[in-house]
Amino acid sequence: MISIATVPVLEPVQRSPGYWATVLRRFSRDPVAVGAGIVVLLLILMAIFAPLIAPADPYKGMALRRLRPPGTDGYPLGSDELGRDMLSRLIYGARLSLFIGVTPVFIALFVGSAIGITAGYVGGWVNTILMRVIDVFFAFPSVLLAIALSGALGAGIANSVISLTVVFIPPIARVAESVTTSVRTRDYVEAARASGASAFRIVRTQVLGNVAGPIFVYGMSLIAVSMILASGLSFLGLGVKPPEPEWGLMLNTLRTAIYTQPLLAALPGMMIFITSIAFNVLTDGLRSAMDIKS
């Protein structure tokens, strides 16, 4: 045993702010990114508390009061082609739109990271096999792949979530693989290997903390794409089925009114636009906050 001059065991020491604390501090100094973050937060709150906020029942139509323009008495944002309150439908629409936009990305983050980190850390023929399979999916444009998968699986919320997840696994796996490959040859990983730690333990304690940031930011940037693809699937009738309120589907059903009530027809599109811009700006802010040059 090595005998070393003894120091009282585990007394409190000065702690420096960690990486994520630093990222948060830098992020909070970026007003544009914070603004986008607030918009995203409001959208999420709107989805959660839809029943409390919405002025009317989003499913209840009034055949006599169809396609009222925004500002009509009792219909702050007008009414749709079946006489349902637009404002309520837009508020309720956030639930499904956010759900089918965000869920595939988060599932794909787990699956794609697992594939990419495994391929990147193990390397060799495991990497070759995994990444060539991933490359097959890259051969298809993401929109076509989503449509093809949704078409094959059939319409429905679960199926559009599944098909979008499959669409997002390859790009996330590729990013995860490239950052892991660059991290695994660093000396601190070598040092961990020299200590006799298992590959799983090294990935968990030494690699994950260094690759999670870039992978997560990339995933965030896919949320906007996912929202638009999800809306597209609903628009094509492959996603959410009527009468559920969902922005993409609403865009579809209101398209016939584009000449008579253009503003009304554009409202769901506006919501999709605001949401994806907010996610994009938030991602950019996170990315620059994480770009710390020590």
Partner 1 sequence: MTASQTVAPQTFEPLMEVDGLTKYFPVKSGLLGRATAVVKAVDGVSFNVAQGETLGIVGESGCGKSTTARLLMHLITPTAGKLRFQGKTVGTAEMPLKAFRRQVQMVFQDSYASLNPRLTIEDSIAFAPTVHGVSMVDAVARARRLLDRVGLEPKRFAGRYPHELSGGQRQRVNIARALALEPSVLLLDEAVSALDKSVEAQVLNLLLDLKEEFGLTYIFISHDLEVVRFVSSRVLVMYLGKIAEVGPTDALYEASAHPYTTALLGSMLSMDPDKRRTAAPLAGDPPNPINPPSGCRFHTRCAYAADICRTREPALSLVAANHHAACHLSDPTSGHTRPTRPAVAEVTA
How many whole angstroms from its chain centre is CA 238? 20
Contact present, 206 and 192 (Cβ < 8 Å):
yes
**Phi, psi (degrees; rounded to nearest 5) at 269:** -60, -40
Angle at which helix 208-235 crosses helix 19-28, to 10 degrees, equals 50
Beta carbons within 10 angstroms of residue 258's beta carbon: 12
Q: Whose Cβ is closer to partner 1: residue 132's or residue 294's?
A: 294
Task: Considering the complex, state which of residue 205 and residue 260 has its C-beta at the smaller distance from partner 1.
Answer: 205
Query: What minimum distance in Å lies between the beta carbon of 30 and partner 1?
Result: 21
Please tell me the distance from the alpha carbon of residue 198 to that of residue 109, in angstroms, as a whole number: 24
- Beta carbons within 10 angstroms of residue 187's beta carbon: 8
Q: Which residues contact 216 (CB under 8 A, 6 or more apart)?
A: 109
Residues 119 and 174 sit within 8 Å (Cβ to Cβ): no
CB nearer to partner 1: pick between 11 and 73: 11
Nearer to partner 1, 155 or 290 (CB): 290
Q: How far is the CB of 26 from partner 1 (least distance, A)?
A: 15
Of 57 and 190, which has the nearer Cβ to partner 1? Answer: 190
Please, what is the minimum distance in Å from the beta carbon of residue 293 to partner 1? 9
* Contacts (Cβ under 8 Å, ≥6 apart) of 105: 164, 168, 219, 220, 222, 223, 226
Q: Identity (one letter) of the amino acid at 49?
A: F
Q: How far is the CB of 128 from partner 1 (least distance, A)?
A: 9
If the CB atoms of residues 23 and 238 are measured against partner 1, the closer one turns out to be 23
- Closest approach, Cβ 131 to partner 1, in A, equals 14
CB of 294 to partner 1, least distance (A): 3
Partners of 75 in beta bridges: 72
Minimum Å gap between C-beta 285 and partner 1 is 21
Q: Contact at 8 Å (CB) between 121 and 107?
A: no
* DSSP run (H or E) holding 226: helix 208-235
Q: By three-state DSSP, how is residue 40 classified?
A: helix
User: What is the binding site for partner 1 (CB under 8 A)?
Assistant: 1-2, 4-7, 9-11, 13-16, 18-19, 186-188, 190-197, 201, 205-206, 209-210, 294
Query: How many other C-beta atoms can be found within 10 angstroms of the C-beta atom of residue 49?
Result: 11
Nearer to partner 1 by Cβ, of 15 and 64: the residue is 15
Shortest reach from residue 34's CB to partner 1, in Å: 25
